[in-house]
Structure 1
Amino acid sequence: MKPVLCEKKTYTVQEIMKILDIGKNSAYQLVQEKQFKSFRIGSSIRISKESFDKWLNDKM
């Protein structure tokens, strides 16, 4: 039986920083401004990949 690969559905703030080539403060500011859907898991922030990708495509 082949292992099931799950497609990643969220980004971390660090991944957003790399994608946009921005600093930590700017990335957290985008999250606080609710530019895309995000949520917390404990103290960690996760950003909806679908929401972020749509936001990014709209900016281009």
Structure 2
Amino acid sequence: MAEKRCYTVRELQEILGISRPTVYNLLKKNEFRWIRLDGGKYRISKKSFDDWLDNQPPEQ
């Protein structure tokens, strides 16, 4: 099976422990690459999301 290349909104909610509206706010801010499919579903680039997450400053 091919390596997963995209995350769903639900997967980002689970990874980050945040609400659905918060995920959509991140998408609106273009924090990482994403596409919108027919039917309004979003797919977020796994690579760009993982890179973004890895570069977040640590909590103080």
Check whether TM > 0.5.
Answer: yes
Q: Structure 1 residue runs of 4+, over 4 Å off?
A: none
User: Alignment partner of 1:35: what SS?
Assistant: coil
RMSD: 0.7
- For structure 1, the residue ranges without an aligned partner over 5 or more in a row are none
Determine if the alignment matches structure 1 residue 47 to structure 2 residue 44. Answer: yes
In the TM superposition, what whole-angstrom CA distance separates every residue of 1:13-54 from its partner, at most 9, and x where no partner exists?
Answer: 110000000001101000110000000111110000000000
- For structure 2, the residue ranges without an aligned partner over 5 or more in a row are none
Report the TM-score when normalising by structure 1: 0.89
Question: Who is 2:27 aligned against?
Answer: 31
Determine if the alignment matches structure 1 residue 12 to structure 2 residue 8. Answer: yes
Report the TM-score when normalising by structure 2: 0.89
Q: Distance in 1 between matches of 2:35 and 2:5?
A: 12
Q: Distance in 2 between matches of 1:13 and 1:33?
A: 15
Structure ID, larger Rg: 1
Q: Distance in 2 between matches of 1:25 and 1:44?
A: 14
